[in-house]
Amino acid sequence: MKAYFKLLMLILVSTLYYGCSQDPYDWSGGKTTVAIKEISSPIVRYDMIRVQAKLDIRGAQIDNIYFVLYKNEGGNWKVEDERAPSLVDGTSDTYLLEFGGLTANTQYKVAIRIWANGSEDPIIEQELNVTTASAEFTLTTENAVARNQYVVDLYGSFRSEEIKATQDMLGFVVSETDANLETIDLYPCLEINSDGSFSTVVDGLKPGTNYYYAACFVYAGKRYLSEINTFRTQDIEITEGDIIDLGLDVKWASCNLGSNTPEEAGKYYGWGDPHGISSMNRDDYPKLDSISGSGYDAAWYQLGEYYRIPTADEWNTLKSKCSWEWVVYKNVHGYKVTGPNGNSIFLPAAGCRLMSDGGIGYVGAQGFYRIGTQTQVGDYVRHFLLTEDEYYSNTSPREWGCSIRPVYDSRVSCITGGSTNITATSASIRQGYVKSSNVNLTEWGVWYGTKEYPNIRREGAMCTSDNQDQIDVELQGLLINTTYYFCTYAKAGNQVYFGKVNKFTTSAEAKISTEEIVDLGLKVLWRGYNLGAQYPEEQGAETRWDEMFNEDPLTENICNTKYDLAHAKLGGDWRLPTRDEITELITKCIWQRIIYKNIDGFQAIGPNGNSIFFPQFDYSSGNWQFRDFEDTAYMSGMCHAIHDGSGAMYALGFNEKDVSLVSSYSTKNKETIIRPVQDK
């Protein structure tokens, strides 16, 4: 009895202090471990009240739950019923109880009390005031019928012997949650039939969304709801698959780069960024006018050689030949783009990375998509902009991060061959080929460079081939001990296609040839050692340029003439090199300062990887050492500035670090060394 009076006093104090508040009262003294998360809109009739509550248990141990029904009798609240509710099927936190046998048009109050964690008193209570209907009726919610992604037809029925319902007394409530349905705006009845059935049309809904709805009867200023049902609007239908054929020249990926579903934003990419860095520093992004299908194209780099960023022409084709509809797909705003063949893709309004701290803006309102080709190079590049009202090409700073929707173009297949015959400065690329369909190829060959990003603008070089079915090329003039990347390429119009990238590393050193005749990959063959020597490290004979002239007048070119000492001594095709042949030797070979068999000198490594050695000699001391250009020279067969029987000879000159064409050696007074050549 004491416990009963204690509980009654608690209820009385709560009612006096809080009145009819809907807010829960915490009986635990600030130690609440469970809460009433949501009370669904009650179902009320003339003789019945049905109440459903969802709890936030928070890991508490529920001891008891009671729904207590009070009846207002002359201003006093009298306990009418007190029972434990039942769990709703399929849930562990939602409780339901129906009170029946009630009096029509009467005020009632339902109190929900919860005991938990061994508490003596309820730790929380929440009250709900309701008034039973004044007349008997039956209100039923029927099944909904979705017309499309945005519109649904709702049906209900009303029957009563006491009330004749009119159209303005009936309708429906619709919401994405089942709480407080009795307070939201009513969709009025559009049609009522003689059998009590009625209906309405609800539009402006979100595609692919779950909704709660209930038939509603308005009588004597009060709303009465039927049981709550659910429907789901139809999803926006997007063609399934990874690659979608829209009936255009190229196929389009179904998802943004970096995402797995059409509605995901994916990653954001600055201009010419194949990795997806988050830098907002403009200098981190290259100035390139075209990256589509190149190593600076993130789609090509990450997905493979058939994927790339769409060109400006391909975006324009998508715009002009497809239908565009701004939709909500799986709760994401964007465009459904339908091709001429009926297939479709979804482009989400993913926003862009534009804030100085790398933050993302305009999500859900705009989409910024990379265009892979530009008309000019600068700080701003073009992107394809999506808004609810329009879609068009626009510009933005190249450091802004935009979405990439790849295209798939398999019309050209560039198959990269392998590398062989690798030397310090050369390599052979073999067995590459190009296949194509419905495109006109204008060029093909091998791209190579020291970075793994094939392109035609920034770095690297192209080596063309005559046969697209078997692309074999020789790469020469490479750097020593350097990794090179290479792939097959082909051109079709303005588009360049690149194959899979392979790599090789040139040798760390080149073996010096000891052969007499050495092919360096130049226009002429060079002797492996000096005139008068038998090995590369030997000095050989010294001579003056005009030694063979005797009393004859000087001429500017003595190569392969009777005045040519190399030709005179060696015979055959041997001769002195020309000025241009020395220049070619200097410019097309790689030169290294080395010590070969204890002799200082320079190694010349030809474009094909073969190499020869040029020793240096100090004539006064007989020791090999570093000297100035004009003190160490190899004779050419050409001179200039002839005057009074003397001229200035062209020569190959050395100093401590460099090699140069020298043009000031006297033809009379300077003795020099000869390195003969012969024509190929």
- pLDDT higher than threshold 50 for residue 444: yes
- pLDDT higher than threshold 60 for residue 628: no
Give me the CATH code for the 137-232 domain, please.
2.60.40.10
- pLDDT higher than threshold 70 for residue 31: no
Ordered by start, the domain boundaries in the chain are 33-132, 137-232, 243-408, 412-505, 517-678
| The two three-digit tokens of residue 123, written as one number | 């730790």
Query: What pLDDT score does 21 carry?
Result: 37
User: For residue 411, what are the CA distances in angstroms to 40, 370, 670?
Assistant: 59, 22, 66
- CB contact burial 510-540 (16+ within 10 A = b; e otherwise): bebbeeeebebbbebbbbbbbbebeebbebb
Return the higher-pLDDT residue of 23 and 309. Answer: 309
Query: What pLDDT score does 618 carry?
Result: 56
Q: Return the bridge partners of 538, or none.
A: none
- pLDDT band, very low/low/confident/very high, at 239 (cuts 50, 70, 90): very high
| The two three-digit tokens of residue 116, written as one number | 């938990």
| The two three-digit tokens of residue 157, written as one number | 């029925």
- CATH class of the domain at 412-505: mainly beta
Query: What pLDDT score does 399 carry?
Result: 97
Q: Which of 609, 605, 600 is nearest to 654 (CA)?
A: 600
Query: What pLDDT score does 656 carry?
Result: 74
- pLDDT band, very low/low/confident/very high, at 17 (cuts 50, 70, 90): very low
475-479: average pLDDT: 90
Q: Which residues contact 3 (CB under 8 A, 6 or more apart)?
A: none
Q: Which residues contact 561 (CB under 8 A, 6 or more apart)?
A: 555, 567
Q: Locate tokens 């020249």: which residue?
A: 249
How many C-beta neighbours within 10 Å does residue 373 have? 21
- pLDDT higher than threshold 70 for residue 238: yes
Q: Which of 350, 359, 356, 508 is nearest to 424 (CA)?
A: 508
150-176: average pLDDT: 95
Query: What pLDDT score does 34 carry?
Result: 83
How far apart (Å, rounded) are the C-alpha atoms in residues 406 and 314?
11
pTM of the complete model: 0.68
Query: What pLDDT score does 677 carry?
Result: 98
Assign 3-class secondary structure to 153-169. Answer: EEEEEEECCCCCCCHHH
Residue type for position 4: Y
Query: What pLDDT score does 10 carry?
Result: 32
How far apart (Å, rounded) are the C-alpha atoms in residues 511 and 532?
22
- pLDDT higher than threshold 80 for residue 424: yes
How far apart (Å, rounded) are the C-alpha atoms in residues 37 and 374?
56
Q: Locate tokens 């495109």: which residue?
A: 439
What percent of the chain has a predicted confidence (pLDDT) above 90? 71
Domains 33-132 and 412-505 share a fold: yes
- pLDDT band, very low/low/confident/very high, at 206 (cuts 50, 70, 90): confident
503-519: average pLDDT: 95
Query: What pLDDT score does 620 carry?
Result: 41
558-575: average pLDDT: 95
- Topology at the third CATH level for domain 33-132: Immunoglobulin-like (2.60.40)
Query: What pLDDT score does 631 carry?
Result: 61
Residue type for position 96: L
| The two three-digit tokens of residue 648, written as one number | 């200035």
What is the number of residues in the chain? 680
Lowest mean pLDDT among 28-42, 61-75, 362-376, 414-428: 28-42
How far apart (Å, rounded) are the C-alpha atoms in residues 285 and 229?
55
Query: What pLDDT score does 680 carry?
Result: 94
How far apart (Å, rounded) are the C-alpha atoms in residues 165 and 367?
50
Average pLDDT, whole number, for the chain? 89
- pLDDT band, very low/low/confident/very high, at 61 (cuts 50, 70, 90): confident
- pLDDT higher than threshold 50 for residue 368: yes
Query: What pLDDT score does 14 carry?
Result: 31
286-310: average pLDDT: 95
Q: Which residues contact 395 (CB under 8 A, 6 or more apart)?
A: 380, 381, 382, 383
610-618: average pLDDT: 87
Contact 233, 149 (CB under 8 A): yes
- pLDDT higher than threshold 70 for residue 70: yes
